[in-house]
A and B are shown apart, each in its own frame.
Chain A
Amino acid sequence: MRARLAGMLMLGMIIICLAYFLRSLFTSTPEISSLGKFYLQNSYLGERSAGSPEVVTSILWDYRGLDTYFETAVLFLAIISAVSVFRNMEHREVGDGFTGITKTGIKLVAFVTFVTSASVAFHGHLTPGGGFQGGSILAAVSLLVIAGFSKGALEGNGITKDRALAIRTLGLAIITAVAFYPLLEGFNFMQNLPVYPVRIRGLLISGSLLLYNVAEFLAVGAGFTIIFLLLSLPEVRRE
């Protein structure tokens, strides 16, 4: 009876999904809202250009930059509070990781993931992606190393909690400096284009978008690394 119910449920879900995806065949294409048209026309070519062909990044760091700025600040506060919660935990080491097969595989995959994270972050103003996405992938590298080797392997190679916190603060400081610099020049807070150059020696850097992406990449990658380091503290067994 339960198996039949599950089958009926699955069939119903498949029908609903099919109807959802096929509905565009029977209805007219939706109109783009005026705000969406503004973003699409202006992000690279228009008069209020952000200098970036990637519309999502130009919305995140230029048109709606203030939102992202405080979002980053909120994430920083969350990580600070996690650090303060865990501040009295003892450092102790349990176990020595997985087998050699796993470690070799993790070495290969971690290298590829590291390169991918950098590419996602540094191309954030050209292709889909950006600082937050690249930073999350970077943190996945540290999570891989913790899972396959150990927490000590990460700390033995120089990525300790304090150093990661320093990198996180550096990233946030770069974001703050880039956001406040236009005020000194007499422009608005977080203004992008007349202040920062669109290209340097013919290379498209989209004004401040590249700077924000790199800083956010450092901040998010180091921030999530701190969280993973703290959460991987082994539990103390009381006898």
Chain B
Amino acid sequence: MILASIGLILLIAGVICDVFGAIGMHRFDNFYLRLHAATVGTIGGKFYPLIGVALIAADMRLWPIAGIALLSALLVMITAPVGSHALAFAAAEKNLVPIEKNEFTGDSR
């Protein structure tokens, strides 16, 4: 019961993150900002709901579903940061998208 409640809370949090990610994708006008919104959508809107599904399934003693959900969550946790890192790296390295203000060095290029 407690596990299912926590899972439900995670699912709802995932819905909220997905909505914020969608709004960000629509409203942000920069490639890097949009990448941030997309990552909010994948980590917050996919990773946490999958953990929530695993918890709900564990509460209902559906162990195969819980295992698959946990495995999918692990894969999402690996692929989403790697994918956004690769996109940002490629865009910055080849100067496809100019960086307006570099937070690390302070100058803009």
Residues of A within 8 A of B (CB): 98-99, 101-102, 104-106, 108-109, 112, 148
Contact = CB atoms under 8 A, between A and B. Distances in A.
A102 B89 contact: yes
A109 B78 contact: yes
A148 B75 CA distance: 17
Given A98-B89, A99-B89, A106 B82 contact: yes
Contact of A105 (B82, B89, B90): B82
B62 to A, nearest CB: 17
A105 B79 CA distance: 7
Contact of A101 (B75, B82, B90): B82
A209 B82 CA distance: 38
A106 B86 CA distance: 11
A108 B80 CA distance: 13
Contacts of B81: 101, 105
B85 A101 contact: yes
Interface residues of B, number: 9
A112 B86 contact: no
Contacts, number: 26
A102 B79 CA distance: 9
Chain A interface, DSSP helix/strand/loop, else mixed? helix
A102 B85 contact: yes
A102 B75 contact: no
What are the 8 closest A-B residue pairs judged by CB atoms, nearest first?
A105-B82, A102-B86, A101-B85, A105-B78, A108-B78, A98-B86, A102-B82, A99-B89
Nearest to A103: B82
12 contacts: A98-B86, A98-B89, A99-B85, A99-B89, A101-B81, A102-B82, A102-B85, A105-B79, A105-B81, A106-B82, A112-B75, A148-B86
Contacts of B86: 98-99, 102, 148
Interface string B69-81: 0000001001101
A14 B86 CA distance: 34
B85 A109 contact: no
Nearest to B85: A101
Interface string B9-20: 000000000000
A106 B79 CA distance: 8
A101 B88 CA distance: 12
A108 B75 CA distance: 9
B80 to A, nearest CB: 10
A112 B86 CA distance: 19
A106 B82 CA distance: 8
Find the residue from B75, B81, B86, B89 having the highest chain A CB count within 10 A. B86
Given A101-B82, A102-B82, A109 B89 contact: no
A59 B59 CA distance: 38
Contacts of A104: 82
Interface string B22-45: 000000000000000000000000
A112 B90 CA distance: 25
A172 B57 CA distance: 42
A141 B86 CA distance: 17
Given A102-B82, A102-B89, A109-B82, 12 more contacts: A98-B89, A99-B86, A101-B81, A101-B82, A101-B85, A102-B85, A104-B82, A105-B81, A105-B82, A109-B75, A109-B78, A148-B86
